[in-house]
Structure 1
Amino acid sequence: MKRTNWLWGRKANWENFLGALSQTPWRSILTGDVGTQIGSFTSTVHSLQNKYIPNPTFTLKPHDHSWFGYDCRVAADNKSKAWRRYKRHPTQANKQLHKAASDNIRRILRLAQQQWQDELRSKL
């Protein structure tokens, strides 16, 4: 299953996004009945989001846990790349890169699990 991750707080271009929203000709877009207006509003905002907010798509694997999100996938991929690099070229530098990637994924996984558990607790 593919999932789109909106990176709202990271590399979003808020200045241009808000500028584009303020420059949008809302009077000409929001015409017709309420259903049409909602559709037009949604598609306009979504197209601006696509333009100014980074939104990488990643694939969830069947064995991934429900708390395993975009940051976890990126860290797992980086660890895997570091391991393959070290196996091809077993230098001390590549070993250190793999160790750093392993430490990073461990930290990210702990944080993701904790956030997921905290969210579940808050819902109970």
Structure 2
Amino acid sequence: VIRSLQGTVFLAKEELKPGIETFVKKGADWVILTTGIGTDTLIESALELQLGEAFMNILSSAHIASRGYKTFAALKKHGIQPDVSDEDGTVRDLISKLEDKELQGKRVMVQLHGENAPALIDFLHHKGADVLQLMP
């Protein structure tokens, strides 16, 4: 069965707050964004926490990987051009685009989209990245 997650998973604001605070405190070398609505939600949540400017500064200085055209559009809205984008909207293709990137010891924030992404997280751990997962 193939179905959209939209409308079946909902924002968990209180659970998101510590992750955003950690992201702002520690920063990130790479940010991997997997949905447009998730990207917008992270930015809006950071603004509500009075961390919007710091959050956007990290996004502007980090390497960005973007999955899907809606994520690309959300970033464009904020003047951010991803360093890496998939070609077919899949995590699998995004992983292939990250394959040659040096991630050993790098801090990587991953915005999940209502489900865990074990293939992506396993890939990042295998590459030696320090991963922070945020699931808005």
Question: Shorter-chain TM-score: what band?
Answer: under 0.3
> Going by fraction, where is strand more abundant, 1 or 2?
2
> Going by fraction, where is helix more abundant, 1 or 2?
1
Larger Rg: 1
